[in-house]
Structure 1
Amino acid sequence: MGLCHAKPIEIPETQFESHVISGDNQPISSTTEVGKTPQFPFYSPSPLPSGFKNSPANSSVTSTPLRFFKRPFPPPSPAKHIRALLARRHGSIKPNEASIPEGSECDIGLDKNFGFPKQFENHYELGEEVGRGHFGFTCSAKGKRGSLKGQDVAVKVIPKAKWENLSFHTVEFCGILAFCLKKSFFFCQMTTAIAIEDVRREVKILRALTGHKNLVQFYEAYEDGDNVYVVMEGGKFSEEDAKVVMVQILSVVAYCHLQGVVHRDLKPENFLFASKGDNSPLKAIDFGLSDYVKPDERLNDIVGSAYYVAPEVLHRSYGTEADMWSIGVIAYILLCGSRPFWARTESGIFRAVLKAEPSFDEAPWPSLSPDAVDFVKRLLNKDYRKRLTAAQALSHPWLSSFQDIKIPQDMIIYRLVRAYICSTSLRKAALGALAKTLTVPQLAYLKEQFQMLSPSKNGHISMQNYKTAILRSFTDAMRDSRVIEFVNTVSTLQYRKMDFEEFCAASISVHQLEAMDTWEQHARCAYELFEKDGNRPIMIEELASSVKNCKQWRFCCVYGTYNSPPLNQELGLSPSVPVHVVLQDWIRHSDGKLSFLGFVRLLHGLSSRAFHKA
């Protein structure tokens, strides 16, 4: 956006007022008497005679009104074409003329009267708030008289006081949101002269189009000195409706991710219903920004839509997890009707995505099921490692009512199993203890993944099973994304056969468990089991080799003097700090066994930058 600049002001004979736009866009005024040095000397007129022919040599500063700008000339207004369009719409100017002043909207004087009826309270009894957006809120209400007497309705309340300080905004009315409009309500931003026109236009469109089965039924618009009230049919986009949509979105995304394709632009507009029927399936469209990604590689180009972009995309290091963040944003909108992250500018949206936390305190979140809240929270985790995959999301308890969900293979299993096989026996024992704390839904997901690998009659699988299973879903995309190349590295690993118990230990994502409210219980219970079965006196060098594989790093462990620059970097320590000092904190001095802190760190394997904080 360009800088704002004050309108010309008339300056008295004895003094003048200069207006400069400060860094925070707040006008700063200064009053300077004649003969005194101005407060802003950079903008003072030259004391030398003017070079123009007709200018007097001894011109007085006070004889000519001046405008002072932060720049010599103001930049063109980015809203100029919008203002001209509005003016032409009202017939006030010719196409190539501009009679609307470029000054502040507050200087123009806003007419906030729409001509709507003013007897809202006489016709409706306003109930509790059921949803809140960035620009207003929706309340339930009940008709008090007329044809809607006793009928439940929804009222969108838009405070007029906000109109002077916000900026122009539009709302998407395509794709899946067209379906949402049937039962849910989205807040249009109502700001300044442009936004007042938006209010008039929205009500006019709703009045003209109402009656279609997939559009919310509009009844009437009211106003008073403080608010505009848009009365519509009651009801809301229920959890069950949201589940139907999410299952379809997750199914296609899980399939794409298995093939090594990341969509990178998941948003409501890119999902369309195949027909107008109530049971019409959703279709994913627009793969123009999609790309191939190998399971153990990261992309670095910033693409997508601002409201739905994942934090790691902005950090230029991401994979298929970025799509899951976008799905979390869609789920948030479906369930509450507003975006989890919002700002007036694209850069502001990016800052909100990186720093802000979505709100789950305001209506309707307290009235939604705990599983629905947990589902969205586990998708909108800023740490991509803690985010659910598409296959895991389909297995989430919130969607358990759908009995016919087809859950595909999950590529995260391949990554986790490969890391498990390369781990030391000490870490495998720790993961085995953690696997025994898993809940029934978590075990159900792992059971399905295990069965897809076609275990033998005695319930075991070999590494070759992983390649055989993935080839059943083979497409050309899988070859182009080099997923097959990655799977080959897993299938050729030399390892004994696994039963389901060890498969669970190998397939646990510790980061994902950490994102759950029950993580502390999992960790404490697992540590108690580890104490009974696997904990024993250990040496620093053994613990160091558990953090990073000895063959990989090619280092020697010498008790008391151990130091390795690669491992120091992994632990977040300077090269001069002996690593054994940190690792000793993981071992109890009383018996030389692993402490709870060491157990948790060992579970990770560990690629963490938080060691120096421990």
Structure 2
Amino acid sequence: MMPKMRDSPLHSNVEAPKLLELRKSTSTPMYVPGGDCIDLLEERDRLLPEELAARIVHQLLVVLNYCHSSGITHRDVKPENVMLSSLDDDATCKVIDFGLATPYKGKVKEFAGTVSYLAPELAIAQAGFSMAADIWAVGVTAFELLAGVSPFGKLQEYGNECDPILEKLCTYESFDEDLLQVFRESPGHQRLWRSSEAKSFLRFVLAADPEDRPTAAQALGHPWLARYRPAPAPIEPEMLRTFADFAEAPQMHRSCLFALAAKGRHGELDMEAVEATFTDIDLDHDGKISLEDLRAASQSQQWWPWRRQPEVDIDAFFRLADQDLFLPI
């Protein structure tokens, strides 16, 4: 599958491991072998293991946390815009389609998005957008991954008429009042059963009042996601050794490495491993690595008496890696 994607001028200012790399100078989109989350649902007869759903939602929130902390709203969060490295249970995600993304200043006045994933306040006002609306769309996406059905239906179910969906959104009061029974009767809950933590998460992010919804960072701390979150892997000694080599290299050598990295020339690096390590080091999931993040990761590495551990001055490495002198990195 070769997904069709739109680029946005904002993308040059928003780069993180789980954002699909889109270059304005490139007309050919990157191939993502697993397809999107709708493909995954269809492949699994709309019955996903709860752990897989939680892992996908966690990765989606990591991306949004970085976007929101950078002052960007996505405005079109939905399963079709979450691409997967594979259709397996250990798939990693990339978020695509930043064509509607926009800087967030108070509230965005322009009305945009996909109707089935619109927040109630957008359906009522037919205008505006906020970061809380992105969180609502995460909730609808999580519901669909867990239940196997959309909570408010899709356009094709209503003859491509959006009014029935908008009416449901305009009269929405709460998860318990409007969606709990739908969830209980869904294929996902009936055939696989879903935990109380999963329902608690949906209740948390699908609050009718945007002021009652969590931020992406707060949602990441929910017990449901914590239950299934894999333990971060320690930094491999080989990677620490590259840190040490970088810190000891001449200035010209370091500048050349920065230039190559900026042009996306990574040589023989396993970029999936690098991205996974970045995500593990980034403890607060803001898409940036602070000195405290790096110190904690270096101290958590496994020590084996028969392996010589590289000696790394983390502070020196961090100072040299911060080329623009604008912490963090």
Query: What TM-score, normalized by structure 2, do the two folds share?
Result: 0.53
Q: Tell me which of 377, 380, 385 is aligned to 2:211.
A: 385
Q: Is the 8 A contact 2:59 2:93 kept in 1?
A: yes
- Tell me which amino acid in the other structure corresponds to 2:216: A
User: Compared with structure 1, are the counterparts of its residues 380 and 257 closer, same or farther at alpha carbon in structure 2 (3 Å cutoff)?
Assistant: same
Q: 2:111–2:128: 8 Å Cα contact kept in structure 1?
A: no
- Give distance in 2, aligned partners of 1:287 and 1:368: 32
Structure 2 residue matching 1:400: 3-state secondary structure = helix
Would you say the 8 A contact 1:395–1:407 is kept in 2? no
Partner Cα distance (1:308, 1:337) in 2:
15
Specify the alignment match of 1:298 in structure 2: 107
Is the strand fraction higher in 1 or 2? 1
Contact 2:135 2:205 (8 Å CA) reproduced:
yes
Q: Partner letter of residue 355 of structure 1?
A: T
- Equivalent-residue separation in structure 2 for 1:311 and 1:174 (angstroms): 29
Q: Does structure 1 conserve the Cα–Cα contact (< 8 Å) formed by 2:75 and 2:133?
A: yes
Q: What's the offset of the Cα at 1:181?
A: 2.2
Tell me how far apart the structure 2 counterparts of residues 272 and 409 of structure 1 sit (CA, whole Å). Answer: 20
User: Computing the radius of gyration over CA atoms, which structure comes out larger, 1 or 2?
Assistant: 1
Which structure's relative contact order is higher, taking Cα pairs within 8 Å and 6+ residues apart? Answer: 2
Shift of 1:369: 1.4
Q: CA deviation at 1:274?
A: 3.2
Change (3 A) 1:184 1:250: farther
Q: Which among 280, 285, 290 is matched to residue 408 of structure 1?
A: 285
Amino acid in the other structure paired with 2:285:
P
Cα separation, 2, equivalents of 1:331 and 1:264: 16
1:359 to 159, 179, 188: 179
Amino acid at match of 2:194: L
Q: 1:183 aligns with which of 41, 44, 52?
A: 44
| Structure 1 Cα separation of the partners of residues 284 and 40 of structure 2 | 26
The alignment-based identity, stated in percent, is 31
Work out the CA distance in 1 between the residues paired with 2:146 and 2:87.
Answer: 22
Change (3 A) 1:276 1:339: closer
Residues in 1 aligned to 2:213 and 2:98: alpha-carbon distance in whole angstroms:
23
Among 469, 472, 478, the residue aligned to 2:327: 472
* Alignment partner, residue 307 of structure 1: 116
Tell me, yes or no, if structure 1 residue 325 matches structure 2 residue 136: yes
Where does 1:73-472 land on structure 2 (aligned, <5 Å)? 175-185=36-46, 236-275=47-86, 279-294=90-105, 297-314=106-123, 315=125, 316-342=127-153, 344=158, 345-356=161-172, 358-361=178-181, 362-363=184-185, 364-365=188-189, 367-401=193-227, 402=229, 403-404=231-232, 406-408=283-285, 472=327
Deviation at 1:409, TM superposition (A): 5.4
Deviation at 1:261, TM superposition (A): 0.5
Q: How many angstroms apart in 2 are the aligned matches of 1:184 and 1:392?
A: 32
Amino acid in structure 1 at the alignment position of 2:119: A
Report Cα offsets for 1:135-156 as digits up to 9, x if no partner.
xxxxxxxxxxxxxxxxxxxxxx
Q: 1:313 to 1:472 in 2, by over 3 A?
A: farther
The match for 2:15 is: none
Determine the C-alpha separation between the residues in 1 that align with 2:45 and 2:209: 30
Contact 1:394/1:407 (8 A) holds in 2: no
User: AA paired with 2:170?
Assistant: L
In the superposition, the TM-score normalised over structure 1's length comes to 0.29
Structure 1 unaligned blocks of 5 or more: 1-172, 186-235, 411-450, 453-470, 475-614
Does the CA contact (< 8 Å) of 2:75 and 2:112 recur in 1? yes
Secondary structure of the structure 2 residue equivalent to 1:272:
strand
CA contact (8 A) 2:36 2:83 kept: yes
Deviations 1:457-507 (A, max 9, x none): xxxxxxxxxxxxxx6358xxxxxxxxxxxxxxxxxxxxxxxxxxxxxxxxx
- Which amino acid is the alignment partner of residue 79 of structure 2? P
**SS state of the match for residue 150, structure 2?**
coil
Q: What is the alpha-carbon distance in structure 1 between the residues aligned to residue 205 and residue 167 of structure 2? A: 19
CA contact (8 A) 2:52 2:89 kept: no
What is the deviation of 1:397? 0.4
Specify the alignment match of 1:108 in structure 2: none
In structure 2, how many angstroms separate the alpha carbons of the residues matched to 1:313 and 1:341? Answer: 15
- Name the aligned partner's letter for residue 382 of structure 1: A
Secondary structure in structure 2 of the residue aligned to 1:283: strand
Q: Name whichever structure is richer in helix by fraction.
A: 2
Q: Give the paired residue count.
A: 192
Change (3 A) 1:328 1:473: farther
Per-residue deviation at 1:381?
1.0
Letter of the 2:42 partner, please give it. L
Counterpart amino acid of residue 210 in structure 2: Y
Q: Following the alignment from structure 1 to structure 2, what is the Cα–Cα distance between the partners of residues 391 and 380?
A: 16
Letter in 2 for 1:182: E
Shift in Å, 1:407: 2.6
**Counterparts of 2:212 and 2:95, CA distance in 1:** 25
In the alignment, residue 41 of structure 2 is paired with which amino acid? C
- 2:206 maps to amino acid: L
Aligned equivalent of 1:596: none
Calculate the aligned-residue CA RMSD, in Å.
2.6
DSSP-derived class of the 2:100 partner: coil
What does residue 6 of structure 2 align with? none
Contact 2:111 2:129 in 1 (8 A): no
Q: Which amino acid aligns with 2:179?
A: S
